[in-house]
A and B are shown apart, each in its own frame.
Chain A
Amino acid sequence: MSSFSEKMKKFKWKHYINYIVIGVLTVVFAIISAAGGLKSSSTILLEKIAISIVLAVSLSLVVGFLGELSLGHAGFMCIGAYLGGKVASLLVPVFGNGTVTMLIALFVGGGCAALLGFLVGLPALRLKGDYLAIVTLAFGEIVKVIFQQSKLFGGNLGLSTPNRPNRNTFFIVAFALVLFTLLIIQNLMRSKHGRAITAIRDNEIAARATGINVTKYKLVAFMISAFFAGIAGVMFSYTNSSVQAVKFGYNYSIEILVMVVLGGMGSINGAILSATLITILNEKLRTVLTGDLAVLKDLLYALILIVIVIYNNAPALKGFREKYNFRNLVAKIWHPKNDPSIVKDDAASWDKVPTKIKMDEILSVDLKVGNEFTPDKPSKGDK
């Protein structure tokens, strides 16, 4: 019993909280759904949320952790949707519309997207920042044009794909895939490989100098990111009766980017939260804002993007940010005694680090009045 409680103490809740929350919520919704309490619009919304989370978390691997901007994430999703959908529609007569078909479709869609991710990763070895952003954008557009023109995939009309096996329970499958995505990406980021990836983001030359294989890690990050975008694409093809290339344009890539930026770059939980929030907002606003007003949503995203990036990055706001940081505010409420906002990067806490030099003693030595080595007697004002 004691060993169990010790284990519970060592168990880092912080590391598993997202699995637990998502798992519990899925189970709750599954129970409600089994009791017949979920409308079909709600299950569709849940599926959309799952797809958005997978997309946002996978993009945050490249943008947040590797520090390269990818504007072609929807392109990877497009590949997954088309190829996964095609494979599924070919396999349904053979295996039926069940688990086997779906697994193969997921594997093919994700694998092909990962292959393309490898191809996009290759320029990433030579290019950086703006150039790479434009290359990923170009890749996304090329993919879109090719699928739009090819007769094999239905051309402009789009590819009709098999529907989800069970309308009421498909969201459970979708959230299982979310957990799988989290398992892979979160564990990757907490391993030494993940630290290598963030080291490349922070300083590529320094990372190279410490012996990190930059080539390998950049390619791996792009491939994994693309793989999960492909998986999200396959899910999309299952939840929609037809796949059209027009949807996977530049705007969709930007929408995913907004999720990552809003959640905070380099934060997986942030990406999950903002993906959920934006998807729900999208769905609610879609019914409220119709016709030409629908564009107000885009305006909102644009403003969110600009304001958040300026707030988080402007050099002039550095002091303000440190003072009113969300994390610091939470910590202040949790542990009111040690206020983390006081500790600055450059102010080493020498009084907490054990050293041989007793700084406290040195500084607190009271010199006797009269022994002071001062040419002039100090006035009362300056001590």
Chain B
Amino acid sequence: MEFINTLVNGLNIGVIYAMIALGYTMVYGIAKMLNFAHGDIIMVGGYTIYVFCAMKAASSPAFFFVAIAMAVIVCTLLGVIVEKVAYKPLRGASPLAVLITAIGVSYLLQSLSQIIFKSATKFVSVPELGKVSIGAVSIKVSTIITLVVSIAVMISLSLFVKYSKTGRAMIAVSEDRGAAQLMGINVNSIITITFAIGSALAALAGLFYLLQSPYIYNTFGAMPGIKAFTAAVIGGIGSIPGAMLGSIVLGMIESICDSIAPIAPYKDAIEFSILIIILLVRPTGILGKKRREKV
């Protein structure tokens, strides 16, 4: 039963990473930039839920849904604003400049949250969800919700990208921005939509983290952000199925490390070592396409 627990736990961690990694991979594929501030959008989503839960002490389930909706809206707006203010002026500039700006935005969001909410860890009064036992295995209800919602989101996102007009425009922009522009696609608005979708997914990831353990702090999103980026790179950045696959793989590795006591403290080091090894052996990740550099 220990094994099944590890498996479920790994799947749980994996799908949360996938929600974040999808944001990274879509932005990377379409805007060709690494959005370092993505992890901090999770933190903003978490704090939004905290504010709404604190507003009404006896948080009724209905009100909690309002809190979730607000978190998604706030994160989406924030993602779009960050894109417009910080990244849009640098379109066409060197990648190094964009990367440093993204780091600056991440730092800015973290310090702003510290100014507004102070540095102490806060308890978020999310509704208590019990456990369900199936045979000898008992699974948390929050885990089931996380799995169901995120798998539904992933499937609908894949369908959206594959079949909707906007989604196909996204693929076109990621393959060749210039050609897409010539075909009449508004590249700027596609990039904005990408940021909006990625940020909305990050808000959901923040929610799932709070369902797991109801505490929030300033660097809430930093580690999940880096880990999810690692997952996106392992799966092949720019590829949506790759991000999902990489996230599940990383979640499983993390869960297995957690279940073996002597190596548990080193789990971050192990995950990052796997990232480095994968990048050395196959720099494009598991499902990534190789691109030839042209002069």
Partners in one complex: yes
Is the CB of A298 closer than 8 A to any CB of chain B?
Answer: yes
Q: Which among B2-10, B51-59, B146-154, B267-275 touches the partner chain? A: B267-275
B107 and A309: CB pair below 8 A?
no
User: Quick one: which of A268-316 are within 8 Å of B by CB?
Assistant: 292, 295-296, 298-299, 301-306, 309-310, 312-316
Most B CB contacts (10 A, CB to CB) among A306, A312, A317 go to A306
B283 and A127: CB pair below 8 A?
yes
Interface residue count for B (Cβ, 8 Å)? Answer: 46
Q: Which among A2-10, A42-50, A140-148 touches the partner chain? A: A140-148
Is the CB of A188 closer than 8 A to any CB of chain B?
Answer: no
Interface string of B75-90 (1 = CB under 8 A from A): 0000000000010011
Is the CB of A123 closer than 8 A to any CB of chain B?
Answer: yes
B295 and A312: CB pair below 8 A?
no
List residues of chain A with CB within 8 A of the CB of B94.
313
The number of chain A residues touching the other chain, given as a range, is: 35 or more
Instruction: Point out the residue from B99, B226, B268, B280 that lies within 8 Å of A126, measured CB to CB.
Output: B280
Most B CB contacts (10 A, CB to CB) among A149, A296, A299, A304 go to A299
A123 and B97: CB pair below 8 A?
no
User: Quick one: which of B273-295 are within 8 Å of A by CB?
Assistant: 273, 275-276, 279-280, 283, 293, 295
User: Quick one: which of A27-65 are within 8 Å of B by CB?
Assistant: 63
Q: Which among B13-21, B111-119, B181-189, B194-202 touches the partner chain? A: B111-119
B114 and A310: CB pair below 8 A?
no
Which residue of chain A lies nearest to B109 when distances are taken between CB atoms in the complex? Answer: A302
Is the CB of A131 closer than 8 A to any CB of chain B?
Answer: yes
Which residue of chain A lies nearest to B294 when distances are taken between CB atoms in the complex? Answer: A205
Is the CB of A261 closer than 8 A to any CB of chain B?
Answer: yes
Interface of A is mostly: helix
List residues of chain A with CB within 8 A of the CB of B293.
205
Is the CB of B66 closer than 8 A to any CB of chain A?
Answer: no
Which residue of chain B lies nearest to A67 when distances are taken between CB atoms in the complex? Answer: B96
B92 and A315: CB pair below 8 A?
yes
B104 and A205: CB pair below 8 A?
no
Interface string of B198-240 (1 = CB under 8 A from A): 0000000000000000000000001000100110010000000
Given contacts A127-B279, A310-B90, A315-B91, contact A134 B97 (CB under 8 A): no
Given contacts A149-B265, A205-B295, A299-B111, contact A123 B280 (CB under 8 A): yes
A145 and B112: CB pair below 8 A?
no
Is the CB of A133 closer than 8 A to any CB of chain B?
Answer: yes
Is the CB of A129 closer than 8 A to any CB of chain B?
Answer: yes
Instruction: Point out the residue from B90, B101, B272, B283 that lies within 8 Å of A141, measured CB to CB.
Output: B272
A302 and B107: CB pair below 8 A?
yes
Chain A nearest CB from B247 CB (Å) reads 16
Given contacts A145-B269, A257-B103, A302-B105, contact A134 B93 (CB under 8 A): no
List residues of chain B with CB within 8 A of the CB of A149.
265-266
Given contacts A123-B280, A295-B119, contact A306 B89 (CB under 8 A): no
* A129→B291 CA distance, assembly (Å): 15
Interface string of B123-161 (1 = CB under 8 A from A): 000000000000000000000000000000000000000
* A254→B99 CA distance, assembly (Å): 12
A298 and B104: CB pair below 8 A?
no
Is the CB of A214 closer than 8 A to any CB of chain B?
Answer: no
Chain B nearest CB from A108 CB (Å) reads 23
Given contacts A123-B276, A306-B86, contact A314 B99 (CB under 8 A): no
Is the CB of B49 closer than 8 A to any CB of chain A?
Answer: no
B279 and A123: CB pair below 8 A?
yes
B95 and A130: CB pair below 8 A?
yes
Given contacts A127-B283, A142-B272, contact A301 B107 (CB under 8 A): yes
List residues of chain A with CB within 8 A of the CB of B97.
309, 312-313
* A133→B112 CA distance, assembly (Å): 24
* A142→B272 CA distance, assembly (Å): 7
Is the CB of A137 closer than 8 A to any CB of chain B?
Answer: yes
User: Quick one: which of A314-334 are within 8 Å of B by CB?
Assistant: 314-317
Chain A nearest CB from B264 CB (Å) reads 10
B101 and A310: CB pair below 8 A?
yes
B103 and A138: CB pair below 8 A?
no
Instruction: Point out the residue from A133, A141, A301, A304 that lies within 8 Å of B268, measured CB to CB.
Output: A141
B95 and A122: CB pair below 8 A?
no
User: Quick one: which of A48-100 are within 8 Å of B by CB?
Assistant: 63, 67, 69, 71
A314 and B93: CB pair below 8 A?
yes
Which residue of chain A lies nearest to B268 when distances are taken between CB atoms in the complex? Answer: A145
Which residue of chain A lies nearest to B280 when distances are taken between CB atoms in the complex? Answer: A123
Given contacts A69-B96, A312-B97, contact A138 B276 (CB under 8 A): yes
List residues of chain B with CB within 8 A of the CB of A314.
89-90, 93
A257 and B100: CB pair below 8 A?
yes
- Give 4 nearest A-B pairs by CB, closest first: A305-B104, A138-B272, A302-B108, A313-B97
Given contacts A130-B34, A142-B272, A146-B269, 18 further A-B contacts (CB under 8 A): A63-B96, A69-B99, A123-B279, A131-B283, A134-B226, A134-B229, A135-B279, A138-B273, A138-B275, A142-B273, A149-B265, A250-B222, A298-B110, A302-B105, A302-B107, A310-B101, A313-B90, A314-B93
Of the A-B pairs whose beta carbons lie under 8 Å apart in the complex, a sample of 9, sorted by A's number, is A133-B34, A135-B279, A138-B276, A139-B276, A149-B266, A295-B114, A304-B104, A305-B104, A306-B86
